[in-house]
A and B are shown apart, each in its own frame.
Chain A
Amino acid sequence: MASPTTIYTAAAIHTLDPSRPDAKAVAVRDGRVLAVGSVEELQRIEGATVDGSLERFTLLPGFVEAHCHAMAGGMWLHTYCGYFDRQGPDGRVWSGCRSMDDVIERLLKADARMTSEGAGPDEPLLAWGLDPIYFPGERLVARHLDRVSTARPILVMHASLHLATVNKALMEAEGITPDTDMDGVPKDGSGWPIGELREPAAMSLAGTAFRKFWGRTKSEDSLRNFGNKARNTGITTLTDLGNRESAKESEIERFRWVVDQEGFPARVSVFHMPVPGTPEALEQAAADVVASRGASSAKLRFGHVKLVIDGSIQGWTARLRWPHYLDGGNGIWVVPPEQVTDILRPYHEAGLLIHVHCNGDEAVDVWLEAVESLLAETPRIDHRHTVQHCQLTSPDQYRRIAALGMCANLFSNHTFFWGDQHASSTVGPDRAARMNSARTALDLGVPLSMHSDAPVTPLGSLHVAWSAVNRLTATGVLLGPDERISVAEAIHAITLGAAHQLKMDDEIGSISPHKHADLAILEADPFAIDPAGLRDVPVWGTMLGGRLFPAD
Chain B
Amino acid sequence: MDTRQQRLPLLVVGGYLGAGKTTLINTLLNDPQGQCIAVLVNDFGEIGIDEALLAAEQGKQGKQGKQGKQGNVISLANGCVCCSLADGFATALDRVRTMADRLDRVVVEVSGVGEPGKVAQWAKTPGFSPDGVLVVVDGSRVRVQLADPRIGQTVAGQVADADLLLLTHGDLLAPDGLSAAERALADLSAAPVLRSPVDPTLLFGMEPVTGVHGPVGHAAHADHVTCSLPLAHPVPRATLELWRQVRPRGVVRAKGIVRTSDEPEARTVVQSVGDSTSITVSGPWTGDEPGDGAGAVVAIAVPGTQRAALVKWLGIL
Binds B, one of A203-211, A392-400, A411-419: A203-211
In the docked arrangement, what's the CA distance between A335 and B118, Å?
Answer: 16
Binds A, one of B44-52, B225-233, B240-248: B44-52
B48 and A277 contact, CB distance less than 8 A: yes
In the docked arrangement, what's the CA distance between A204 and B127, Å?
Answer: 12
Name the one of A199, A217, A335 contacting B80, with C-beta atoms under 8 angstroms: A335
A332 and B76 contact, CB distance less than 8 A: no
- What chain A residues lie within 8 Å of B43 (beta carbons)? 276
A276 and B76 contact, CB distance less than 8 A: yes
In the docked arrangement, what's the CA distance between A338 and B47, Å?
Answer: 16
In the docked arrangement, what's the CA distance between A282 and B43, Å?
Answer: 12
Binds B, one of A181-189, A295-303, A370-378, A433-441: A181-189
Chain B proximity of A417: nearest CB distance (Å): 18
A205-B125, A276-B41, A342-B44 are contacts. A200–B77 as well, Cβ < 8 Å?
A: no
Name the one of A161, A200, A308, A332 contacting B115, with C-beta atoms under 8 angstroms: A332
- What chain B residues lie within 8 Å of A182 (beta carbons)? 121, 124-125
A275 and B17 contact, CB distance less than 8 A: no
A199-B121, A200-B85, A336-B17 are contacts. A277–B75 as well, Cβ < 8 Å?
A: yes
- What chain A residues lie within 8 Å of B176 (beta carbons)? none
A204 and B16 contact, CB distance less than 8 A: no
A333-B113, A334-B113 are contacts. A339–B44 as well, Cβ < 8 Å?
A: yes
- What chain B residues lie within 8 Å of A162 (beta carbons)? 85
Q: Is B151 an interface residue (CB 8 A)?
A: yes
Q: Is A362 an interface residue (CB 8 A)?
A: yes
Q: Which of B68-109 contact A (CB under 8 A)?
A: 75-81, 83-90, 93
Q: Is B112 an interface residue (CB 8 A)?
A: yes
Q: Is B154 an interface residue (CB 8 A)?
A: yes
In the docked arrangement, what's the CA distance between A273 and B87, Å?
Answer: 16
| Closest chain A residue to B153, Cβ basis | A330
A200-B90, A204-B90, A211-B87 are contacts. A279–B46 as well, Cβ < 8 Å?
A: yes
B77 and A317 contact, CB distance less than 8 A: no
A308 and B90 contact, CB distance less than 8 A: no
In the docked arrangement, what's the CA distance between A162 and B82, Å?
Answer: 11
- What chain B residues lie within 8 Å of A275 (beta carbons)? 75, 77
A278 and B48 contact, CB distance less than 8 A: yes
Q: Is B111 an interface residue (CB 8 A)?
A: yes
Q: Is A523 an interface residue (CB 8 A)?
A: no
Task: Bits for A305-345, please: 1 = Cβ < 8 Å to B, else 0.
Answer: 00110010000010100100000001011111111001100
Q: Is A175 an interface residue (CB 8 A)?
A: yes
- What chain B residues lie within 8 Å of A529 (beta carbons)? none
Task: Bits for B29-58, please: 1 = Cβ < 8 Å to A, else 0.
Answer: 000000000000111111110000000000
B90 and A210 contact, CB distance less than 8 A: yes
Name the one of A244, A332, A337, A343 contacting B44, with C-beta atoms under 8 angstroms: A343
Measured as residues with beta carbon below 8 angstroms from the partner, the interface class of chain A is: 35 or more
B86 and A214 contact, CB distance less than 8 A: yes
Task: Bits for B154-190, please: 1 = Cβ < 8 Å to A, else 0.
Answer: 1000000000000000000000000000000000000
Q: Which of A481-507 contact B (CB under 8 A)?
A: none
- What chain B residues lie within 8 Å of A204 (beta carbons)? 87, 89-90, 93, 122, 125
Q: Is B283 an interface residue (CB 8 A)?
A: no
Q: Is B315 an interface residue (CB 8 A)?
A: no
Q: Is A245 an interface residue (CB 8 A)?
A: yes
Q: Is A202 an interface residue (CB 8 A)?
A: yes
Task: Bits for A197-225, please: 1 = Cβ < 8 Å to B, else 0.
Answer: 00111101100001101110100000000
Q: Is A281 an interface residue (CB 8 A)?
A: yes
Chain A proximity of B263: nearest CB distance (Å): 14
Chain B proximity of A241: nearest CB distance (Å): 14
B17 and A311 contact, CB distance less than 8 A: no
Q: Is B63 an interface residue (CB 8 A)?
A: no
- What chain B residues lie within 8 Å of A330 (beta carbons)? 153
| Closest chain B residue to A204, Cβ basis | B90
| Closest chain A residue to B119, Cβ basis | A201
Q: Is B197 an interface residue (CB 8 A)?
A: no
A339 and B17 contact, CB distance less than 8 A: yes
In the docked arrangement, what's the CA distance between A177 and B22, Å?
Answer: 37
Name the one of B86, B88, B125, B154 contacting A333, with C-beta atoms under 8 angstroms: B154
Q: Is B150 an interface residue (CB 8 A)?
A: yes
Q: Which of A235-288 contact B (CB under 8 A)?
A: 244-245, 273-282
In the docked arrangement, what's the CA distance between A205 and B93, Å?
Answer: 12
- What chain A residues lie within 8 Å of B44 (beta carbons)? 274, 276-277, 282, 335, 339, 342-343
Name the one of A205, A311, A319, A342 contacting B83, with C-beta atoms under 8 angstroms: A311
In the docked arrangement, what's the CA distance between A21 and B90, Å?
Answer: 52
- What chain A residues lie within 8 Å of B48 (beta carbons)? 277-278, 280-281
In the docked arrangement, what's the CA distance between A337 and B155, Å?
Answer: 13
Q: Is B287 an interface residue (CB 8 A)?
A: no
Chain B proximity of A271: nearest CB distance (Å): 14
B151 and A337 contact, CB distance less than 8 A: yes
- What chain A residues lie within 8 Å of B93 (beta carbons)? 204
B111 and A175 contact, CB distance less than 8 A: no
Q: Is B214 an interface residue (CB 8 A)?
A: no
- What chain A residues lie within 8 Å of B121 (beta carbons)? 182-184, 199, 201-202
Chain B proximity of A544: nearest CB distance (Å): 29
B84 and A276 contact, CB distance less than 8 A: no
In the docked arrangement, what's the CA distance between A308 and B78, Å?
Answer: 11
In the docked arrangement, what's the CA distance between A362 and B149, Å?
Answer: 10
In the docked arrangement, what's the CA distance between A245 and B91, Å?
Answer: 14
A211 and B118 contact, CB distance less than 8 A: no
In the docked arrangement, what's the CA distance between A343 and B44, Å?
Answer: 7
Instruction: Pick from A180, A244, A274 the residue with the most CB of B within 10 Å.
Output: A244
- What chain B residues lie within 8 Å of A308 (beta carbons)? 79
Chain A proximity of B292: nearest CB distance (Å): 30
B17 and A200 contact, CB distance less than 8 A: no
A333 and B85 contact, CB distance less than 8 A: no
Task: Bits for B102-141, please: 1 = Cβ < 8 Å to A, else 0.
Answer: 0000000001110100110110111000000000000000
In the docked arrangement, what's the CA distance between A273 and B88, Å?
Answer: 14
| Closest chain B residue to A337, Cβ basis | B150
A201-B118, A339-B44, A343-B44 are contacts. A244–B77 as well, Cβ < 8 Å?
A: yes
* Known A201-B118, A277-B48, A322-B149; further 19 A-B contacts with Cβ < 8 A: A161-B86, A175-B126, A182-B121, A182-B125, A200-B86, A204-B87, A204-B125, A205-B125, A205-B126, A211-B87, A276-B42, A308-B79, A330-B153, A334-B83, A335-B80, A336-B16, A336-B113, A336-B151, A338-B151
Can you report 11 residue pairs joining A to B where beta carbons are below 8 Å apart?
A183-B121, A202-B121, A204-B122, A244-B88, A275-B77, A276-B45, A277-B45, A307-B79, A332-B154, A333-B150, A338-B151
The 9 closest A-B pairs by CB, nearest first: A201-B121, A336-B17, A214-B87, A333-B113, A204-B90, A278-B48, A161-B85, A336-B112, A201-B122
**Interface of B toward A, CB cutoff 8 Å:** 16-17, 41-48, 75-81, 83-90, 93, 111-113, 115, 118-119, 121-122, 124-126, 149-151, 153-154
**Interface of A toward B, CB cutoff 8 Å:** 71, 161-162, 175, 180-184, 199-202, 204-205, 210-211, 213-215, 217, 244-245, 273-282, 307-308, 311, 317, 319, 322, 330, 332-339, 342-343, 362, 366
